[in-house]
Amino acid sequence: METSNKTAKVWFITGTSRGFGRVWTEAALKRGDKVAATARNLTSVADFKERYGDQVLTLELDVTKKEQIKPALEKAFNHFGKLDIVLNNAGYSLVGTIEEASTDDVRAMYETNVFGPLEVIQAALPLLRKQGFGHILGTSSNLGHISFPVIGYYCSSKWAFESIHESLAAEIAQFGIKVTIIEPGAYATEFGSAESLKFTAGMEVYSDYKSAFIENIRNLERGNPEATPEALFKVVDAENPPLRFHLGIHNLPGVKAAYEERLKTWEEWDTISAAAQG
């Protein structure tokens, strides 16, 4: 699927060294788009430059380093003359129970999963407003709607990520800027690698519970990340893209079940809730 030069889009993508970031960068370049591909280590994305030349601009960017964010966005904007899509993709998961994780562990994860993307959004908005269009995408998860044990803090970062983007969408629609939250289910990416998972200090009382949970996670049916680009392109090419977009077959059943259970509970307690109105 090639994109003509007239309609070629310009992407700014964080976390392009592995996982969805690498898959989507490669696919966008293959279809003829241009990409500002960012990564903490430039050697991890050097092959993009070798293979795609002027189509790609590789930039060093660690989203936890605020001083790198605005210059990277401005360099990309000035280099390509526009930014159609700003895609926040960098992130990792913290593995540990609520009792085990230290506040320092949680704070560090939020720096990457929440505050870093927020800094990218805030730095990108003046550029997108200036050009009068743009599409902000953020990689979330089906865990932006439901929460699992053992990775509860990771889930909480995605709940925060989702609510920020929902508010953002309402606030910036007036400027012609769109927002979409991409919500992958389980996929066979490097998200299970040492670079994408960090483990808290353990407590013996939780060891069996965590082992059983992690084994269940490992046995999940995983999608093929190489099958996702066409779906992503349909979203970014749509005149009216959705605020939330699932990737994979498992998300919708799980989210529907979770909300049905919540509605059932709220309705059962509604008389008592209503009495509290006064």
Residues acting as catalytic residues:
140, 154, 158
Cα separation, 269 vs 255, in Å, equals: 21
CA dihedral 253, 257, 259, 260 (to 10 degrees): 130
Alpha helix segments (H runs only) across the chain: 19-30, 46-52, 66-80, 103-110, 116-131, 152-172, 207-218, 229-237, 251-268, 270-275
Cross-strand partners of 178: 135
Alpha helix segments (H runs only) across 81-142: 103-110, 116-131
Q: Is 62 helix (H, G, I), strand (E, B) or coil?
A: coil
Q: Which secondary-structure segment (H or E) carries 135?
A: strand 134-139
Structure tokens at 76: 């990309």
